[in-house]
Amino acid sequence: MAELIILKLGGSVITDKSGECRVDKERISSLAKEIASRKNIIPIIIHGAGSCGHPEAKEHHLDKGLDTTNKAGIFITHHAVRRLNDAVVNALRASGVESVGIHPLDACTAKNGRLISFECGPIKLLLKHGIVPVMHGDVVMDEEKGVCIVSGDQLVSYLAVNLHAERIGLATDVPGVLKDGNVIPAINKKTISNLEINESGNTDVTGGMRGKINELLMLAEMGIESNIFHVSRTDDFLDGRDHGGTIVTKKTTL
Ligand SMILES: Nc1ncnc2c1ncn2[C@@H]1O[C@H](COP(=O)(O)OP(=O)(O)OP(=O)(O)O)[C@@H](O)[C@H]1O
Ligand SMILES: C=C(C)CCOP(=O)(O)O
pLDDT of residue 201: 67
**What ipTM was reported for this prediction?**
0.97
Ligand 1 atom nearest 10 alpha carbon: 22
The pLDDT of residue 202 = 76
The per-residue pLDDT string of the chain (254 residues; one tens digit each, 9 = 90 and over) reads 899 999 999 999 999 978 889 999 999 999 999 999 998 999 999 999 999 999 999 999 999 999 999 999 999 999 999 999 999 999 999 999 999 999 999 999 999 999 999 999 999 999 999 999 999 999 999 999 999 999 999 999 999 999 999 999 999 999 999 998 999 999 999 988 777 776 666 778 888 898 999 999 999 999 999 999 999 999 999 999 999 999 999 988 77
Q: Is 0.95 topped by the overall pTM?
A: yes
> Given ligand 2 and candidates 6, 85, 138, 154, which is best to mutate, with the most ligand atoms within 8 Å of its CB?
138
Protein residue with least CA distance to atom 24, ligand 1: 11
Distance in angstroms (rounded) separating the CA atoms of residues 238 and 145: 38
Output the residue whose Cα is nearest ligand 1's atom 20: 10
167-172 and 226-230 beta bridge pairing: parallel
CA distance 44 to 101: 11
pLDDT the model gives residue 102: 98
CA gap 237, 95 in Å, rounded: 19
pLDDT at position 224, please?
97
The Cα–Cα gap between 231 and 252 comes to 27
Q: Is 8 annotated as a binding residue?
A: yes
Nearest ligand, CA 175: 1
The CATH superfamily of 3-248 is Acetylglutamate kinase-like (3.40.1160.10)
Per-residue three-class SS string for the chain:
CCEEEEEEECHHHHECCCCCCCECHHHHHHHHHHHHCCCCEEEEEEECCCCCCHHHHHHCCHHHCCCCCCCHHHHHHHHHHHHHHHHHHHHHHHCCCCEEECCHHHHEEEECCEEEEECCHHHHHHHHCCCEEEEECEEEEECCCEEEEECHHHHHHHHHHHHCCCEEEEEECCCCCEECCEECCEECHHHHCCCCCCCCCCCCCCCHHHHHHHHHHHHHHCCCCEEEEEHHHHHHHHHCCCCCCEEECCCCCC
Contacts of 211 (CB under 8 A, 6+ apart): 151, 153, 204
- Is the distance from the beta carbon of residue 200 to the nearest atom of ligand 1 less than 6 Å? yes
